[in-house]
Amino acid sequence: MVRIVIAIIGLSAAALAGCNGDSEEAQTELRGTRVVTDVVARVGGRPIGASEVEARAAAEGVSIETELQQLIDEELLVQEAERLGLTMSEDGERSIERVMVRAMLHDLEKANTPESISEEEVREDYALHADKLQVPERRRSWHILVKDSSEAGQAQAESILRELRRADDPRTVYERYVDDAPEGTGFEVKAEELPAISKKAGFKKRYKNALFEAKSEGPLKKVVQTSHGWHAIVLVEILPEEHTTLDEVEDETRERLSQKKRFEQLVEIVQALEAKGLVQYDEQGVERLLSMAGLPERSE
């Protein structure tokens, strides 16, 4: 069974499945004008060396396994471009951005432009992602919490709430409790700003319900009890729900869907090339490169 691993690099998608390993000793071979030692894999007879894998992995900040897969996929596409009669770049270096690979992919890109995406496809994608495109109503608040669940704690919270409702600016009351309760309060009290939340937010249910039942901004009419204690709550801001229309995201949707189609077709190309059995691993070379397991699974 072949395991396909996909990664996007520039114009490409990496999709790797290995085939039966080569048990021969790693040899010194020629790759273009360069000598390759410690061969770890061959693609259509062309060697890939451990030093090349290591250097690219370090430069790109990826794992050895990932870079080996990427190099194999790049070579598959390069060899397919050569088969189609496209011209090699002068330096002979393997890179997915080589002119010949770009030429091979030109028709694929031309056939899958944003303009080629139908209105029906755009509408279907919009419907599929409608939930993510709509922002529900959110409410922002702060509260002064009396960390005591007793009746005495409730009485203290109600006293604070009365202060808030009488104050010209409730924020002045908040500032008195930011660091700690004023001397003589007798309870642990905490004043805290909270982010804007929606009705679906994972939040203390009683607090959230009281917040969304409020008809207007300002101190709530009653204190609220949660497992933390008693809360005197001030609703600071009501943020209305936001609707993103189809017209607003149409261009972005067309671009994303066209890229997706190019990606999928490129993966199909790589998979078809792999199926020809062009990839072979040099097991002893791989052992020298890797001190741990994790090489892509081989075809049986």
Tokens found for residue 210: 């009281």
pTM (2 d.p.)? 0.47
Lowest mean pLDDT among 102-116, 165-179, 208-222: 102-116
Q: Which residues touch 74 (CB under 8 Å, ≥6 apart)?
A: 9, 12, 94, 95, 96, 101
What angle (nearest 5°) sits at the alpha carbon of residue 114, between those of residues 108 and 118?
A: 105
pLDDT above 50: residue 1 = no
pLDDT attached to residue 173: 92
Residue 50: strand, helix, or coil? helix
pLDDT attached to residue 143: 96
How confident is the model over 272-294, as pLDDT tens digits? Answer: 777 777 877 777 777 767 654 44
pLDDT confidence tier of residue 46, bands split at 50, 70 and 90? confident
Question: In the block, which residue shows the tokens 């109503």?
Answer: 137
Structural domains of the chain sorted by starting position, each given as residue range(s) with its CATH number in brackets: 5-115+253-289 (no CATH), 137-240 (3.10.50.40)
Closest by CA position to 113, among listed 269, 266, 257: 257
Q: Give the residue, 257 or 291, on which the prediction is more confident.
A: 257
Mean pLDDT for all residues in the chain:
77
Lowest mean pLDDT among 71-75, 229-233, 236-240, 258-262: 71-75
Whole-angstrom Cα distance, residue 240 to residue 115? 34
Query: Using DSSP, how many helices (H) and how many strands (E) does the chain show?
Result: 10, 14
Closest by CA position to 50, among listed 20, 74, 76, 28: 28
Whole-angstrom Cα distance, residue 254 to residue 232? 49
pLDDT attached to residue 133: 84
pLDDT above 80: residue 180 = no
How confident is the model over 57-104, as pLDDT tens digits? Answer: 888 888 888 888 888 888 888 777 777 766 554 454 545 545 556 666
194 in Cβ contact with 254 (< 8 Å): no
Tokens found for residue 120: 């029906």
5 in Cβ contact with 69 (< 8 Å): yes
How confident is the model over 240-251, as pLDDT tens digits? Answer: 998 888 999 999
Ranges assigned E (strand) in the chain: 5-9, 12-16, 29-31, 34-36, 39-43, 46-49, 134-135, 138-146, 189-197, 218-219, 224-226, 229-239, 242-243, 279-281
pLDDT attached to residue 211: 96
